[in-house]
Amino acid sequence: MKRIKGSKFPEISLGDAIGIAQAISSKNIKTEQSLATELGYSAKAHGGIFFYKWAALTKFYGLVEPSRKNITLSRLGERIVSPLSDADRIAAIRESFNRVDLFKQLYETLGANYHPADFKPKLAELTGLSPTEVASVAHRYEGIYKDAVSFIEFGDATLATASAEIVKPELVGRPTPAPSSRFTPIARGIPTIEGPVRTLHSDDGYFIQVKLDESVIEEAIAVLQALKGRVGKVK
């Protein structure tokens, strides 16, 4: 399996990592072998892909304590799996995202809605990979990056929606990506927008996504105008 030099990228998605953390909690997994069995390995876990998944859970995302003798969730993992509030869970997921320096660098330069042709050059620039190496890993790592960013964008949309009290939830949110394995993260709670969408950003970082359909866009305009009028009356 071709990997990025210096192991700068986790080999499983953030969604998968959260799903595994949920399994550790709900199934009370305490041993390395129990975790290996849960991940689909029948033999004693050592090296190979199990090592990469373990590194993602501990070193990269920080959801699990690094000791294999007694497997437990980290404080960060507990805040995501058993949150005290939605806001704290969103903050913990962002913290987990930001632990991966390459995620941060890609997000700062590409964001979420980048042109597809821009990912490979930026990945090469940030990692020092050759064009041949980039070609062999870009598709897999772009999928992992997009999955992670979907959690960040969803969290921002959730907080923006809550603070603005928007009454048309079908107009706000982010399509939920298909899970990349049998480990499925907690449902995000905002309906999927079917079909092509356009993301509109404000200067302070909030955004609204609308389907590229004239009737829906007109409805979105009406909602935002009503919201603007209500906000304007606040002293």
For residue 86, the model assigns a pLDDT of 87
> Which residue did the predictor score with more confidence, 107 or 175?
107
For residue 219, the model assigns a pLDDT of 64
Checking if the pLDDT of 199 tops 50, the result is yes
For residue 41, the model assigns a pLDDT of 76
Checking if the pLDDT of 162 tops 80, the result is no
For residue 177, the model assigns a pLDDT of 41
Q: Is residue 49, in this structure, part of any structural domain at all? A: no
Q: What are phi and psi of 189, to 5 degrees?
A: 90, 0
> For the chain, how big is the Rg over CA atoms in Å?
20
Q: Which of 4, 2, 12, 10 is nearest to 181 (CA)?
A: 12
Q: Which of 190, 176, 111 is nearest to 147 (CA)?
A: 176
Tens of pLDDT along 34-80? 998 888 876 565 567 788 889 999 999 999 999 888 999 999 999 99
Alpha helices in the chain (DSSP H): 14-26, 32-38, 48-55, 75-81, 86-98, 101-109, 119-127, 131-164, 214-232
Q: Is residue 14, in this structure, part of any structural domain at all? A: no
- Mean of the per-residue pLDDT values for the chain? 76
Identify the band that residue 216 occupies on the pLDDT scale cut at 50, 70 and 90. Answer: low
Tens of pLDDT along 90-143? 999 999 999 999 999 999 999 999 999 999 999 999 988 899 999 998 999 999
Q: Is residue 19, in this structure, part of any structural domain at all? A: no
Q: Is residue 186, in this structure, part of any structural domain at all? A: yes
Identify the band that residue 230 occupies on the pLDDT scale cut at 50, 70 and 90. Answer: low
For residue 8, the model assigns a pLDDT of 76
Residue 186 to residue 20: CA distance in whole angstroms: 11
Angle between helical axes of 86-98 and 14-26 (0-180°, round to 10): 120
Tens of pLDDT along 74-92? 999 999 999 999 889 999 9
> How many folded domains does the chain comprise?
1
CB-CB contact of 199 with 187 (8 Å): no
The whole domain housing 211 covers 169-232
Q: Is residue 223, in this structure, part of any structural domain at all? A: yes
What is the three-class DSSP state of 205? coil
Residue 77 to residue 93: CA distance in whole angstroms: 9
Q: Is residue 43, in this structure, part of any structural domain at all? A: no
Checking if the pLDDT of 154 tops 70, the result is yes
Residue 169 to residue 118: CA distance in whole angstroms: 31
Q: Is residue 103, in this structure, part of any structural domain at all? A: no
CB-CB contact of 16 with 180 (8 Å): yes
For residue 169, the model assigns a pLDDT of 40
Query: Six-digit token pair at 47?
Result: 């090296």
Q: Is residue 189, in this structure, part of any structural domain at all? A: yes
